[in-house]
Amino acid sequence: MHLAAGAAALPIVMRFARAQAYPARPVRIIASNPAGSSPDLVARLVGRRLSDRLGQQFVVENQPGADTNIDTEMVVRAPADGYTLLLTTTTNAINATLYPNLNFNFIRDIAPVASIGRTPVVMAINPSLPAKTLPDFIAYAKANPGKINFASSGNGTPLHLAGELFKMMSGVELVHVPYHGSYMPDLLGGQVQVAFTTIPSLIEHIRAGKLRALGVASARRSDTLPDVPTVGEFVPGYEASAWYGLGAPKGTPTEIIEKLNKATSAALADPATKSRLVSLGVEPMSMTPAEFGKFMLDETEKWGKVIRAANIKPE
């Protein structure tokens, strides 16, 4: 009986020892975005804080291409030992529906580790439009169906879907104009009249009066634009944001995931980390692995409905 009890306890002891020893070598964070982009900067900031707390280097590897699908599959196929992590983003949730023939399932094959934060989206228009408020815009758009162009950085991107969700929930007809480069010159020039984009990319133009912010797409008003209402105040239930988190291959030991989650949450609570994230336009968002898993699933289902309803196809 003593032998049997010892044998039964052995796997628990081994898992505990493995978690205690982790990390014993550098950890990779795979990011789909190029170096210097906002997601890359977020990944590097969090990586440095995890290095400080866990005593090993957390190294960001940029693997751009195929709209995040290459880097995600790389992590899905990696050993489930905690030494290869994925910077998860809104795009992962979108691609689960946008690309029907992927070799992996984002929700099934990526274990949620920790949330990092979200970047609120703002709805901004060229001041040439005769709309001072969001209700004004909705009324004008309904009176002029198909005559307002909204710009995005490409078909099926998070900011394109933010616009499509607005169209669905407000009942207006806008013409989507996807850009492969920057649409900012055309938005400022009035060739396109509205865009749904992250606050940091537009804030200076809004402050200078070159663009007019009609609403922020977060659940509450933004500290950066405190006088701008939320879109949800006029279109109940509307919310759209770019978000970041960490994922790991399915089967990564729970003890390791918990250790990473606690270290990430502690980093997000640090005032210096908070301040740096806010300077990047990111609102810190701390969740348990279970909470983050539900969040990822909810986002995947939410954007899946938009993609199917608008019949959006990848470029």
Q: Tens-of-pLDDT digits for all 315 residues of the chain?
A: 555 555 555 454 455 555 669 999 999 999 987 777 888 899 999 999 999 999 999 999 987 665 678 889 999 999 999 999 999 999 999 999 999 889 999 999 999 999 999 998 999 999 999 999 999 999 999 999 999 999 998 999 999 999 999 999 999 999 999 998 899 999 999 999 999 998 888 889 999 999 999 999 988 888 888 899 999 999 999 999 999 999 999 999 999 999 999 999 999 999 999 999 988 889 999 999 999 999 999 999 999 999 999 999 887
pTM to 2 decimals? 0.89
CATH code for position 249: 3.40.190.150
CA 233 vs. chain centroid, Å, equals 23
Per the domain annotation, does 95 fall within a domain?
yes
**Domain finish residue from 204, 233, 262:** 233
User: At which residue do the structure tokens 């013409």 appear?
Assistant: 175
CATH code for position 179: 3.40.190.10
How wide is the angle at C-alpha 152 spanned by C-alphas 315 and 189, nearest 5°? 135
User: In the 8-state DSSP scheme, what is residue 183?
Assistant: -
Per the domain annotation, does 315 fall within a domain?
no
Contact 75, 27 (CB under 8 A): no
**In terms of domains, do 77 and 8 share one?**
yes
Q: Please give the tally of structural domains in the chain.
A: 2
**In terms of domains, do 46 and 134 share one?**
no
**In terms of domains, do 59 and 195 share one?**
no
Inter-helix orientation angle 2-21/254-269, to 10°: 40
User: At which residue do the structure tokens 């550098």 appear?
Assistant: 26
Contact 193, 148 (CB under 8 A): yes
Per the domain annotation, does 103 fall within a domain?
yes
**In terms of domains, do 145 and 207 share one?**
yes
